[in-house]
Structure 1
Amino acid sequence: MKVGILGGTFDPIHNGHLYLAEEALHILALDKVVFMPSGNPPHKKGKSITDGSLRYEMVNAAIRDNEKFFVSSYEIDKNGFSYTYETLEYMKMSLNKDDEMYFITGADCLDQIYKWKNIDRIFNVCKFVVFYRPGFSVESLMEKKKKVEEQFKTEIIFLHLLELNISSTYIREKVRQGYNLSYIIPPSVNYIIKELNLYI
């Protein structure tokens, strides 16, 4: 089995996340994609983040009609900071010995990856996949990718996908401005945001 792990704050989840997961599912021939809403990421210390149970509920609502999409509450339920290497080692233990795990994240992480805790342990348990993010040149990202590969003696998979410049920050701002967001977030997520008056 080939399992993709897609982490993120998902505050809120939007159609860009779902598009990415679907593309990764087909390009990498994955059997399933597990969405991992972040718990208490150290790099977002001091920033206001919606309660984990609500972000989990929104992800669950967004993916419920796709039989190959799943959501994990591991980081949300975990005490203390959430480190990627710990999450991936935990997820790896739940798989069979011959299963492959793919960690999917934005290519902008290639700038910050040297600050990640125990990055070598991440490369040991999974295949590292990065997808293109708007605002960066492909050439510069490929140079950074090569540098990381050489330093850590690993191979990084690069997904050059359609540029969907949608962000959760943009969505939260548009909610405050009263915009109709039904075209860029799943209707089920839009319903939860309206019912609970999130991001107002």
Structure 2
Amino acid sequence: MKYGILGGTFDPIHLGHLRTAEEMVQELGLAKLFLIPAASPPHKHRRPVSAFHHRLKMAQLAIGNSDSLQVLDVEGKRQGPSYSIDTLKELAYSLGPENDLYFVLGLDGFFEIHTWKKYQDLFGVTHFVLVNRRGYQFQDIFPYLDRLGLRYTKTQNPDQVLMESGRWLLHKRSTQMDISSTHIRELVQRGRSIRFLVPDNVMKYIYEKGLYT
């Protein structure tokens, strides 16, 4: 079976995250997609991040009783920075070799993968689903992969690349919503409405807990 993974700081989770998750479940035929809040994001050191329990709760509220989406607190149970390679290996082990992982990542984020811990090992653990982002082209991954020394084979499908490890890089298009967690936090700080940017129950939680003020 196929299982998707969408990680992030989710500070806060918003409708753009949820729409991408929903569309990838349908595009890939996933049995389930796991939303995984990062407990201690190694690349978010430039600003304070809301406490993990708040970000976890908002993600849980956001998906409600969804059959296809599930929030995992796997990174909250570990000490230290949240590294994707550790999370992916843990999930791969728990799901078993008969199941495949599909790591959903924006094209912009993929071009930062050389800064990740043991990034070469990621290509032996999971398939990558690279979602379109404004200003980025899927074809630009080829010179990037070359610079990293990663071997691959192009296929007749321009949106599919087979890595030497046997894992796939898949290019998928999702609805681009002009929403960002940064903008939402700024709106709250300025006392402006965030309705229709986040689910109503997430908005209520933000106001009740005094987040981002």
1:44 aligned onto 2:39 = no
The corresponding residue for 2:130 is 130
Q: Which residue of 2 aligns with 1:147?
A: 143
Amino acid at match of 1:147: P
CA deviations over 1:48-82 (Å, ceiling 9, x no partner): 00000010000000012311110111112210111
Distance in 2 of aligned mates of 1:178 and 1:142? 42
Q: What's the offset of the Cα at 1:148?
A: 4.3
Q: Deviations over 1:5-56 (max 9, x none)?
A: 1000000000000000001001111110100000112212252000000100
Aligned to 2:26: 26
Does the 8 Å contact 2:33/2:69 carry over to 1?
yes
Q: What is the aligned partner in structure 2 of residue 75 from structure 1?
A: 75
Give CA-to-partner distance per residue, 1:133-166, whole Å, 9 cap, x none: 23x143xx421x2234553232411112222121
* Equivalent position SS for 1:101: strand
Taking the TM superposition and a 5 Å limit, the aligned residue runs for 1:162-173 are 162-173=175-186
- Greater helix proportion: 1
Q: Tell me what 1:180 maps to.
A: 193
The residue identity in structure 1 corresponding to 2:139 is M
1:88–1:165: structure 2 CA closer, same or farther, 3 Å change rule?
A: same
For 2:14, the aligned partner's letter is: H
CA contact (8 A) 2:108 2:136 kept: no
Match of 1:161 in 2: 174
Q: Bigger CA drift: 180-189 or 3-12? A: 180-189
Give me the whole-angstrom Cα distance separating, in 1, the residues matched to 2:197 and 2:45.
28
Does residue 1:60 correspond to 2:60, yes or no? yes
Instruction: Identify if the C-alpha distance between structure 1 residues 100 and 38 changes in structure 2 by more than 3 Å, giving closer, same or farther.
Output: same
CA distance in 1: counterparts of 2:116 and 2:208, whole angstroms: 37
Q: What residue identity is the alignment partner of 2:150? A: F
Q: Which amino acid aligns with 1:95?
A: L
Distance (Å, rounded) in 1 between the aligned partners of 2:104 and 2:85: 13
Aligned length: 196
**4+ residue stretches of structure 1 with deviation over 4 A?**
none
1:182 is displaced (CA, Å) by 1.8
Does 2:118 correspond to 1:118? yes
Distance between the aligned counterparts of 1:148 and 1:3, measured in 2?
Answer: 27
Identity, in percent, stands at 34
Alpha-carbon distance in structure 1 between the residues aligned to 2:53 and 2:35: 14
